[in-house]
């Protein structure tokens, strides 16, 4: 992935494809004229309605040096940033499908878009670039291409190489600034998706820690990795218990971004890093088990978010904490009924070894609270199938003991498009995770599975007042057909960045 974003004042550009955005209204009112000037017959039958994300490919009679392809892209009413994001993603997907290297977007109406959406040109530029990078994403690093047909081998361009934002006029500076931010966010989201898409045999706990180290090098922040000996010394009994069945050691990774100037808050971000979840001795059914390579989506989102926040230079101290292991059955694996002692000293009856995420998160939450005493703790985890039953595969479950934090996260969900819906944390649910032999039980029976998981986590925040748990089991890795590009979505990166920006 090597993108160049070029911002141009004028509209004349050399490119493989030139994109023209239209609102529904503009499509009816002035598209014909604008497109006639480009030498294309525009939509005489009105087939193209300019709904957000709708596209139509047209060709110019004579284009000289300029792009011969013109892509119409709808932005609907143009009122929501989601409209622009959808359009940018659709355009990029098309360009990649056509194997086009240079994509140009006509931004000469950016002031109009700004008026419609009540967002500054800089922000719109950021969203457009982010959307293009997101839409251009393909997970192809495990494809050798050895079995490709001859004609496919000849299609040299596999990814967009250059994005030109043309016709920016006197908005060049703002667009340039926004584009720079968009590149940071877009690349980080895609890096999270790469980590999630990597299967268990390509991504161990140690490899995940290495990915965090790489992120730290790029973003200029400190990364520390605890090995099994250190994890044992710290008494992280939850992480060690889940790791018992594994052939590979666990890791506990700390990403620590400290801003240059004043620090407004310290935020701890905790991400579930189960590199593959077989269920352990409480083995999962074979059907769909391969999707459990995505059980480190929370960790991937945290790594990417810290890197992006560092790249954007947000004035917050952000500590990412990643407990990582796979969850495997073996003669040495933990057994249903085992009672373990977590780092907090709280004992847990492990009724089901498949409820492993909460065991490793328990230790990470303890570590976050005791070591950093952060102003806010947010954890992201593919924690429960029950959350998918409740909310489906495009919305995450939100649990929080602080109404303001919940409200800010809800709003961040609306603006970033990574939606969250709040679920309760009432005391009544504690009944369901009582244990006869230990302090708490790791499962709560059939009802309210995502709530009892959250209630379990809450026991380990040690009275912290501003904590949110986001169950991303649904949207992190939607079932086939659930999203436009198969596999990982990078869910959580935009959401948490919006949250962090609201404090900046």
Number of residues engaging ligand BES in binding (CB under 6 A): 15
Helix (H) or strand (E) holding 453, with range, is helix 449-458
Stretch that binds Mn ion, among 54-62, 198-206, 351-359, 456-464 (CB under 5 A): 351-359
Whether residue 350 contacts residue 336, with contact meaning beta carbons closer than 8 Å, is answered with yes
Q: CA angle, corner 85, sides to 11 and 481, nearest 5?
A: 130
Rounded CA-CA distance 74/382 in Å is: 34
Closest CB to Zn ion among 80 and 277? Answer: 277
Helix (H) or strand (E) holding 398, with range, is strand 396-400
Contact status: 359 vs ligand BES (CB under 6 A)? no
Contact status: 475 vs ligand BES (CB under 6 A)? no
Rounded CA-CA distance 42/300 in Å is: 43
Tell me if residue 480 is catalytic.
no
Residue 63 makes CB contacts below 8 A (sequence gap 6+) with: 39
* Min separation Cβ 198 and Zn ion, Å: 16
Rounded CA-CA distance 219/237 in Å is: 32
Rounded CA-CA distance 461/303 in Å is: 21
Helix (H) or strand (E) holding 413, with range, is helix 403-416
Contact status: 418 vs Mn ion (CB under 5 A)? no
Interface pick for ligand BES out of 80, 122, 194, 277 (rule CB under 6 A): 277
Stretch that binds Mn ion, among 92-100, 269-277, 310-318, 490-498 (CB under 5 A): 269-277
DSSP state of 367: H
Q: How many other C-beta atoms can be found within 10 angstroms of the C-beta atom of residue 218?
A: 13
Measure Cα distances from 217 to 128, 194, 227 in Å.
27, 18, 20
Helix (H) or strand (E) holding 56, with range, is strand 55-59
Closest CB to ligand BES among 326 and 354? Answer: 354
* Min separation Cβ 356 and Mn ion, Å: 5
Contact status: 354 vs Mn ion (CB under 5 A)? yes
Interface pick for ligand BES out of 180, 329, 385, 482 (rule CB under 6 A): 385
Contact status: 393 vs ligand BES (CB under 6 A)? no
Strands 376-381 and 396-400: unpaired
Q: Provide the phi-psi class of 395: left if phi over 0, else alpha when psi is between -120 and 50, else beta.
A: beta
Stretch that binds ligand BES, among 11-19, 165-173, 222-230, 383-391 (CB under 6 A): 383-391
Q: Which position's Cβ is nearest Mn ion?
A: 354
DSSP string computed for 252-303? EEEEEE--SS----EEEEEE-EEEEE--TTSPPPSTTGGGGGGTTHHHHHHH
Closest CB to Mn ion among 321 and 360? Answer: 360
Interface pick for ligand BES out of 401, 443, 458, 489 (rule CB under 6 A): 443
Stretch that binds ligand BES, among 171-179, 341-349, 381-389, 488-496 (CB under 6 A): 381-389
Contact status: 253 vs ligand BES (CB under 6 A)? no
* Min separation Cβ 439 and ligand BES, Å: 18
Residues 327-356 contacting ligand BES, CB under 6 A: 352, 354-356
Tell me if residue 484 is catalytic.
no
Interface pick for ligand BES out of 382, 400, 401, 489 (rule CB under 6 A): 382
DSSP string computed for 187-217? HHHHHHHHHHHS-TTT--HHHHHHHHHHHHH
Instruction: Please tell me which residue in 181, 272, 358, 369 is annotated as part of the active site.
Output: 358
Closest CB to ligand BES among 254 and 432? Answer: 432
Contact status: 82 vs ligand BES (CB under 6 A)? no
Stretch that binds ligand BES, among 180-188, 215-223, 316-324, 377-385 (CB under 6 A): 377-385
Q: Taking CB within 5 to 8 Å according to partner kind, which of Zn ion, Mn ion, ligand BES, none is near residue 384?
A: ligand BES
Instruction: Please tell me which residue in 25, 79, 177, 284 is annotated as part of the active site.
Output: 284
Closest CB to Zn ion among 381 and 496? Answer: 381
Closest CB to Mn ion among 95 and 473? Answer: 473
Name 399's bridge partners: 469
Residue ranges binding Mn ion (CB under 5 A)? 277, 354, 356
Residue ranges binding ligand BES (CB under 6 A)? 277, 295, 352, 354-357, 382-386, 443, 449, 473
| Catalytic site positions | 284, 358
């Amino acid at each position: 992935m090597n993108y160049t974003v070029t911002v141009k004042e004028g509209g004349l550009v050399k490119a493989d494809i030139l994109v023209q955005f239209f609102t529904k209204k503009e499509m009816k009112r002035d598209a014909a004229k604008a497109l006639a000037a480009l030498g294309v017959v525009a939509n005489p039958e009105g087939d193209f309605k300019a709904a957000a994300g709708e596209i139509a490919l047209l060709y110019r009679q004579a284009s000289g040096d300029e792009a011969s392809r013109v892509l119409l892209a709808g932005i609907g009413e143009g009122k929501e940033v989601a409209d622009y994001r959808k359009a940018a993603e659709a355009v990029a997907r098309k360009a990649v499908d056509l194997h086009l290297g240079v994509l140009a977007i006509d931004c000469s109406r950016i002031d109009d878009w700004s008026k419609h959406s009540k967002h500054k040109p800089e922000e719109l530029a950021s969203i457009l670039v982010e959307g293009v990078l997101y839409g251009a994403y393909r997970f192809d690093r495990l494809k050798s291409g050895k079995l490709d047909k001859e004609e496919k081998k000849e299609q040299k361009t596999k990814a967009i190489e250059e994005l030109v934002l043309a016709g920016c006029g006197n908005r060049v500076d703002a667009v340039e600034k926004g584009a720079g931010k968009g590149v940071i966010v877009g690349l980080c989201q895609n890096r999270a998706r790469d980590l999630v898409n990597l299967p268990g045999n390509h991504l161990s706990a140690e490899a995940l820690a290495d990915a965090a180290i790489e992120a730290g090098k790029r973003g200029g922040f400190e990364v520390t990795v605890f090995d099994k000996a250190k994890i044992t010394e710290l008494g992280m009994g939850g992480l060690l218990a889940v790791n018992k069945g594994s052939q590979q050691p666990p890791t506990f990774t700390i990403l620590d971004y400290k801003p240059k100037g004043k620090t407004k808050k310290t935020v701890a971000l905790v991400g579930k890093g189960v590199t593959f979840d077989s269920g352990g001795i409480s083995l999962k059914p074979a059907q769909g088990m391969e999707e459990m390579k995505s059980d480190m989506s929370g960790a991937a989102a945290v790594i990417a978010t810290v890197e992006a926040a560092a790249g954007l230079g947000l004035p917050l101290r952000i500590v990412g904490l990643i407990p990582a292991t796979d969850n495997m059955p073996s003669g040495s694996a933990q057994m249903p009924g085992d009672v373990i002692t977590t780092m907090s000293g709280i004992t847990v009856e492990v009724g089901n070894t498949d409820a492993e995420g909460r065991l490793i998160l328990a230790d990470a939450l303890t570590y976050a609270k005791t070591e950093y005493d952060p102003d806010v703790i947010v954890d992201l985890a593919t924690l429960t199938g029950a959350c998918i039953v409740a909310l489906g595969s495009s919305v995450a479950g939100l649990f929080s003991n602080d109404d303001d934090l919940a409200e800010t996260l809800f709003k961040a969900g609306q603006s970033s498009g990574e939606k969250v819906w709040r679920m309760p944390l009432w005391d009544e649910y504690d009944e369901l995770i009582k244990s006869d032999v230990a302090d708490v039980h790791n499962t709560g029976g059939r009802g309210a599975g995502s709530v009892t998981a959250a209630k379990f986590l809450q026991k380990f925040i040690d009275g912290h007042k501003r904590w949110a748990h986001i169950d991303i089991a649904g949207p992190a890795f939607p079932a086939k057909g659930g999203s436009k590009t198969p596999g990982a979505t990078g869910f959580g990166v935009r959401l948490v960045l919006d949250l962090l920006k609201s404090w900046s």
